[in-house]
Structure 1
Amino acid sequence: MPVTKEFKTIMAEVSGEIVIKGSRFIAHATPVSAQSAAAEFIASISQRFHDATHNCFAWKIGLSDAAVFRFSDAGEPSGTAGRPILQAAETRDLTNLAVVVTRYFGGTKLGTGGLIRAYSAATLAALEQAEIIISYPQITVTLKFAYAFTNAVHQVVEKHGAKILETGFDNGCIYRVRLNASEEAEFYNALQDATGGKMELI
């Protein structure tokens, strides 16, 4: 489900590594906004470390009851890898991210508790490198208005922190604009005021 209010996530991809009893645990985390992006990231890391013993993962998108998440132990004992990765991210109150923890076995078994601690610690080692940001859900709207209102529309766009993605002309100006979803109603009203009610959403 899409996020409908502000949330915490990471700014960019990060990584961290720990070594426990000879086993290397290499964690990579990245922000994602769709399940397809999470799947692509997991596939990319798994291919990059195709010779590893395990590539375990977890991802989460959304908040509270509307959140969607998946995790995998990727051959480790059930419950010892994927869920601890997810829970480690949740201890930082993060969402809209994917994490892959790669393990190269070092010859010594860690046991159930040891694996849980290792996958959690590796995830946190990566997240400690991340810049945590507050993000806001955004929408894209298409506006049509007379050329005479161009300056007025630009002023409204700037005031509301929106971004013009694309411009065109077809019996007037056509703008594709991205803005925070929470600003939609106020943005629309401001545009109507600025254009004397002659702005259209198309």
Structure 2
Amino acid sequence: MLVLENIISDRGSKYAVAGAPCESEDQARALLGELRRRKKFARATHNSWGLLLSGAGPVKNDDGESGAGQVILRMLEREDLRDHLIVVTRWFGGRNLGGDRFRHIQEAVRIYLEELRH
């Protein structure tokens, strides 16, 4: 699993992004479990994720960050990246970010995709 930590910071909130090839929703949950075994990620406020499965279609989970999974799915669709889980993690810093949180989720996925290309 590729994990990129401390990629975005805004008003105390911090973001990370992670991902890995993934062929099922069960495998996605296992990968999330692996990520959460890291103490830092277990304490995160949100671990939102998206996955475009070749056979079963889109799967997402906002993990309390309403709309986050859909943002990740849109970016996966744009890239036509299938069977690859992307998780955007946020540690809440005490101040609401409003719509900026969606911009940060998009940027986190962009950073991950760029790293994947190299």
TM-score of the two chains, using structure 2 as the length reference: 0.83
**Runs of at least 5 residues in structure 2 that lack an aligned partner in the other structure:** none
SS of 2:60's partner is strand
Is 1:123 matched with 2:113? no
Give the aligned partner of residue 56 of structure 1.
48
Residue 33 of structure 1 pairs with residue 23 of structure 2: yes
Question: Greater relative contact order: 1 or 2 (C-alpha under 8 angstroms, separation 6 or more)?
Answer: 2
Corresponding residue for 1:18?
8
Counterparts of residues 67-78 of structure 1 (less than 5 Å): 67-76=56-65, 78=66
Give, in whole Å, the separation in 2 of the partners of 1:120 and 1:72: 15
Contact 1:29 1:127 (C-alpha < 8 Å) held by counterparts: no
In the superposition, the TM-score normalised over structure 1's length comes to 0.51
Q: Which residue of 1 aligns with 2:95?
A: 108
How many Å separate the matches in 2 of 1:124 and 1:15?
14
Aligned length: 114
Q: Distance in 1 between matches of 2:37 and 2:72?
A: 19
C-alpha displacement at 1:102, in angstroms?
Answer: 1.1
* Secondary structure, aligned partner of 2:29: helix
Q: Which residue of 2 aligns with 1:94?
A: 81
The percent identity for this pair of structures is 33
Tell me the distance in 1 between the aligned counterparts of 2:78 and 2:11. Answer: 25
Give the CA deviation at 1:22: 2.2
* Contact 1:18–1:125 (8 Å) recurs in 2: no
What's the offset of the Cα at 1:59?
1.3
Q: Alpha carbons of 1:20 and 1:89: their partners in 2 closer, same or farther (altered >3 Å)?
A: farther
Give the RMSD, CA atoms, in angstroms.
1.8
What is the distance in 1 between the residues matched to 2:36 and 2:52? 18
Larger radius of gyration: 1
Residues of 2 paired with 1:47 and 1:60: CA distance? 24
Deviant stretches of 4+, over 6 Å: none
Shift of 1:124: 1.4
* Partner residue, 1:44: 34
Letter in 2 for 1:98: L
CA distance in structure 2 between the partners assigned to 1:53 and 1:94 by the alignment: 26
**Counterpart residue number, 1:193:** none
Shift of 1:67: 4.5
